[in-house]
Structure 1
């Protein structure tokens, strides 16, 4: 017959092994590299499967939340909780703003999805507010812990596409018309919203003389109509453009080359 102290030790060991095994399973299911990818304010939450997951045998659940300004308070009162200093734009004004967290909300279209991404563009449309997203996985009746993104603010982090170019030949010169990318939002009258509505943009235009294999920047500024003059007759030129955001010191990728023959 097993002594009482040995039996008790066996039970404790069995219990701890079971708990450790469950924790290990949950950890191995946990989604990896959960992050937002944002282009022209199309904000997509992406992730990779946990270490124990292969194929499409698992499903995922997505939630999101926004951090928001919840109230104002005089700076003469003692701050507590989530109070944070902010500045005002008139003399003698010193205030504290209180920031709070809304509850996590389910993304219904991505609740029980087998995909490794989820479109949260509509849910993150207040582009100057910070957001978080999180994902958990389920497989064979087991659920992982939540895996959360870093803080994501669309205005700071979205990447913008290069401008669209239209080129017309005018008496030996080139007239380049530039268009900034449209965004996924619309005004009330169904007019497209441009990236220009949110940032100061500078357009950079470059011309390449194919015979000399030489590139030259011919314009940098805010105008979207650029005339390129003094071109050599019977020559071939290519034009490319990019967008520069001075406030963020960031530039877009270059547009595709548009090439023309000068008669």
Structure 2
């Protein structure tokens, strides 16, 4: 039979082990993977729920600031939101400035600690969409007109601003001969109007394009293929 003092020690050991394996409520509520996602300077703060959260039982509070500032600012539209994202495009519109965002969660009267993003500078980190193409057949040739991606509405209200106002952009155009299953780069340069000549009559071609940013050594995804039949 186990002595009383040994049995008591066993119970204390089990109790302490159980406590050590339980996380504080605020820590398990803490939002995960808090980061900015940016396309064409449309800057969205995104996060994942804390480990203990499921469903829509929690609300979130969002703040932001410029690097170097001491005071955080509340994002009123995302103060008590149930969404897992917050649009901070207007608050991060100075694209050369570095920013931080942070999020905390609340559920059943408990609040988490703040989860903060890495430093985010829109000019360095925004991803550019592929160009939009218009294609017209002209005497057996193809005239390709390229359009840079649109900026968020907040920029358009001020003046007619293009993504080209912020970066040197190089356009690349590729043509695919469907009969030969062969792809060829037919243009690389800064002009947005490209004429593709010397096409084989009665053949099918597809055209795709992408944007390259020399300063950042970065390219966009390719546009959707536009296919035509040459008479």
Conserved 8 A contact 2:95-2:123: yes
Q: Which moved more, 1:179-188 or 1:201-210?
A: 179-188
Give 1:213's aligned residue: 181
Q: Could you tell me whether the CA contact under 8 Å between 1:186 and 1:193 is conserved in 2?
A: no
Cα distance, 1:248 vs. partner? 0.4
1:110 alignment counterpart: 78
Preserved CA contact (<8 Å) 2:170 2:190? yes
Give the whole-Å Cα distance in 1 for the aligned partners of 2:48 and 2:132. Answer: 33
Going from structure 1 to structure 2, the CA distance change for 1:239 and 1:2 (only over 3 Å counts) comes to closer
| Compared CA separation, residues 13 and 193, structure 1 to 2 (3 A) | farther
> Any idea what the Cα deviations from partners look like across 1:56-112, whole Å, max 9, x if unmatched?
00000000000xxxxxxxxxxxxxxxxxxxxxxxxxxxxxxxx83141000000000
Deviations 1:181-239 (A, max 9, x none): 01115668754321101000000000000000000000000000000000001111000
Q: Secondary structure at the match of 1:10?
A: helix
Q: Is this contact kept in 2: 1:37–1:45, CA < 8 A?
A: yes
Matched-pair contact (CA < 8 Å) for 1:186–1:192: no
- Give runs of aligned pairs for residues 11-90 of structure 1, distance below 5 A: 24-66=24-66
Higher strand share: 1
Instruction: Give the stretch that moved more between structures: 23-32 or 229-238.
Output: 23-32
Q: 1:194 to 1:231 in 2, by over 3 A?
A: same
Give yes or no for contact 1:185–1:192 (8 Å, CA) kept in 2.
no
Structure 1 residue 24 displacement after superposition: 1.3
Q: Compute the TM-score of the two structures, normalised by the length of structure 1.
A: 0.78
- Give the match's secondary structure for 2:22: helix
Q: What are the superposed Cα offsets for residues 9-30 of structure 1, whole Å, 9 maximum, x if unpaired?
A: 9999999999989971110000
Runs of 4+ in 1 over 6 A off after TM superposition: 1-23
| Structure 2 gap ranges (5+) | none
Change (3 A) 1:125 1:18: farther
Contact 1:174 1:227 in 2 (8 A): yes
Question: Could you tell me how far apart the structure 1 residues matched to 2:142 and 2:122 are?
Answer: 36
Task: Pick which of 173-182 and 17-26 moved more.
Answer: 17-26
Preserved contact between residue 185 and residue 193 of structure 1 (Cα < 8 Å): no
Work out the number of aligned pairs and report it: 231
Shift of 1:39: 0.5
- Inter-CA distance 11–213: structure 2 relative to 1 (3 Å threshold): closer
Q: Which secondary structure state, in structure 1, belongs to the residue aligned with residue 57 of structure 2?
A: coil
Q: Deviations over 1:164-184 (max 9, x none)?
A: 000011101000000000111
Rate the CA distance shift 1:101–1:236 in 2: closer, same or farther, 3 A. same
Aligned equivalents of 1:32, 1:253: Cα separation in 2: 28
Residues 90 and 154 in structure 2, CA contact (< 8 A), matched pair in contact too: no
Cα separation, 2, equivalents of 1:259 and 1:55: 45
**Structure 1: segments with no counterpart, 5+ residues:** 67-98
Aligned partner of 1:234 in structure 2 is 202
Contact 1:162 1:242 in 2 (8 A): yes
